[in-house]
């Protein structure tokens, strides 16, 4: 099989293109799409990566690192310790390899424990991640939190929020870059893999020989486990369909005239919330109590 762009042997299948490409053109394809996101971030910004150790966060930080000089970015990373030694090892290996500023955050230091019930665990993990990444970024002077969310995640979020009729996430978060709001102590958000799929980031970490952690969170009960395969089925039939789906929703959202989101500072911790007490502080009260 020949590469779709040159005469070389094609080694990697790119689902969103429906084409096989050689290693060189795959890397070009991948970095071009990461660049499409990064060029929207203000030059000279500092980006804090939340690293889980899985293929996506690893591919996101590694590819951004390759492009950071171009935009004068400072890169740092944190890992939230969920008890996997393998993930910690991957984090440290990557830190040595790329030489970024990095830290491991322990939930125990924050008085939080992830519950064993997988359904509850997902919710807690989500709240804790969002909160700690933002807080750490703001406290250490990072402008943006960068995450490994990819196109398949965005397609899932899009469809899931449409079928739940919950437009809030779409209206306020459905983009590859959202700007920081310093007066509300909100870091911006960057998703370097916004235009790349699950299989692309897997191909990337394999191609680059990067370490990655194989520990998976228990998502058997998850809606993702039903909706993502459905989306993949659509893409198998029409390769550009998920890229189009995500662009379409993003475009509709951008055209939508909607009120500013109501955000206050939490009465307990001083970080953003739409109510009086933020979800993290409420969580700490209800399931924490370790301090």
- Looking at beta carbons only, is 84 or 160 nearer to a copy of itself? 160
Closest distance between a copy of itself and the C-beta of residue 217, in Å?
21
Q: Do β-strands 12-14 and 19-21 pair in parallel, antiparallel, or remain unpaired?
A: antiparallel
Maximum C-alpha span of the chain: 62
Residues 94/52, Cβ–Cβ less than 8 Å = no
Torsion, Cα 186 191 194 196, to 10 degrees, reads -170
- Looking at beta carbons only, is 213 or 246 nearer to a copy of itself? 246
Helix (H, G, I), strand (E, B) or coil at 29: helix
Q: Does 230 bind a copy of itself (CB under 8 A)?
A: yes
- Looking at beta carbons only, is 159 or 187 nearer to a copy of itself? 159
Q: Does 162 bind a copy of itself (CB under 8 A)?
A: yes
Q: Which residue has the tokens 């830190």?
A: 95
Q: Does 221 bind a copy of itself (CB under 8 A)?
A: no
Closest distance between a copy of itself and the C-beta of residue 30, in Å?
22
Q: What is the DSSP letter of 142?
A: -
- Looking at beta carbons only, is 199 or 247 nearer to a copy of itself? 247
Q: Do β-strands 101-106 and 74-81 pair in parallel, antiparallel, or remain unpaired?
A: parallel
C-alpha 176 chain-centroid distance: 10
Q: With contacts defined by CB under 8 A, how many residues of the chain interact with a copy of itself?
A: 29
Binding site for a copy of itself (CB under 8 A): 159, 161-165, 167, 170, 226-227, 230, 233-234, 237-238, 241-242, 244-245, 247-249, 251-253, 255-258
């Amino acid at each position: 099989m020949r590469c779709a762009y040159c005469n070389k042997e094609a080694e990697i299948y790119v689902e969103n293109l429906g084409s096989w490409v050689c290693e060189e053109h795959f890397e070009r394809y991948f970095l071009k799409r990461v660049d499409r996101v990064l060029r929207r971030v203000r030059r000279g910004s500092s980006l804090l990566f939340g690293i889980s150790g899985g293929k996506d966060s690893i591919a996101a930080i590694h590819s951004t690192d390759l492009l950071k000089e171009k935009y004068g970015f400072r890169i740092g990373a944190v890992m939230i310790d969920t008890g996997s030694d393998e993930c910690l090892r991957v984090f440290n290996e990557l830190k040595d390899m790329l030489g970024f500023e990095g830290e491991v955050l322990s939930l125990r230091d924050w008085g939080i424990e992830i519950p064993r019930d997988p359904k509850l665990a997902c919710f807690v993990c989500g709240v804790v991640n969002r909160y700690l990444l933002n807080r750490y970024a703001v406290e250490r002077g990072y402008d943006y939190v960068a995450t490994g969310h990819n196109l398949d995640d965005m397609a899932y979020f899009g469809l899931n929020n449409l079928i739940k009729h919950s437009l809030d996430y779409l209206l306020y978060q459905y983009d590859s870059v959202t700007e920081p709001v310093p007066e509300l102590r909100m870091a911006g958000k960057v998703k370097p893999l916004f235009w790349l799929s699950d299989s692309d980031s897997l191909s990337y970490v394999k191609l680059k020989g990067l370490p990655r952690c194989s520990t998976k969170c228990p998502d058997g009960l998850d809606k993702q486990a039903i909706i993502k395969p459905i989306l993949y089925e659509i893409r198998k039939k029409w390769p550009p369909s998920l890229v189009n789906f995500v662009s379409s929703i993003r475009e509709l959202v951008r055209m939508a005239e909607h009120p500013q989101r109501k955000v206050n500072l939490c009465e307990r911790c001083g970080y953003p919330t739409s109510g009086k007490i933020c979800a993290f502080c409420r969580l700490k009260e209800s399931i924490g109590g370790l301090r």
